[in-house]
Structure 1
Amino acid sequence: MADRPPPFSPLLLLVKLALLLCVLLVLWLGGGTLYRAAVKLLGLAPPPSHTVQLHLLGSSPGGAWRLNPLQSDVQVQPGQFVQLMYELRNDSPYFATVQAIPQYSPATAAAYVQKLHCFCFAEQRFAPGQTRRFPVVLVLDKKLPAALHSITLSYLLQGRPA
Structure 2
Amino acid sequence: MSASVKQGPKGWSNTAIAIACLAFFSGMIGLAYASVPLYQLFCQVTGYGGTTQRTQQASAQVLDETINVRFDANTNGIGWEFKPKQRQVQVKIGETVQIAYEARNFGSAPSTGTATFNVTPQAAGAYFNKIECFCFTETTLGPGESLDMPVVFFIDPEIVDAPELKNIKTITLSYTFFPVDDPQPVAQSGAGADRTTTIR
> TM-score scaled by structure 2?
0.54
Indicate conservation of the 8 Å contact 2:70/2:171, yes or no.
yes
The superposition leaves residues 62-109 of structure 1 with CA deviations (integer Å, 9 ceiling, x where unpaired) of 461221111111001111010001101112222111111112111111
Question: Which residue type is aligned with residue 132 of structure 1?
Answer: L
Partner of 1:78: 93
Match of 2:170 among 150, 153, 159: 150
Indicate conservation of the 8 Å contact 2:78/2:178, yes or no.
no
Displacement after TM superposition at 1:147 (Å): 2.1
Indicate conservation of the 8 Å contact 1:58/1:69, yes or no.
yes
Question: Which residue type is aligned with residue 99 of structure 1?
Answer: T
Q: Distance in 2 between matches of 1:160 and 1:63?
A: 9
Equivalent positions of 1:9-158 (< 5 A) are 49-62=64-77, 64-145=79-160, 146-158=166-178
Q: RMSD of aligned C-alpha atoms?
A: 1.9
Q: How many residues align?
A: 116
Larger Rg: 1
Structure 2 residue runs without a partner (length 5+): 1-62, 161-165, 184-200
Q: SS in structure 1 opposite 2:126?
A: helix
Structure 1 residue runs without a partner (length 5+): 1-47
Displacement after TM superposition at 1:59 (Å): 2.1
Give structure 1 regions of 4+ aligned residues with deviation exceeding 4 angstroms.
none
Indicate conservation of the 8 Å contact 1:66/1:89, yes or no.
yes
Indicate conservation of the 8 Å contact 2:73/2:176, yes or no.
no
Q: SS in structure 2 opposite 1:156?
A: strand
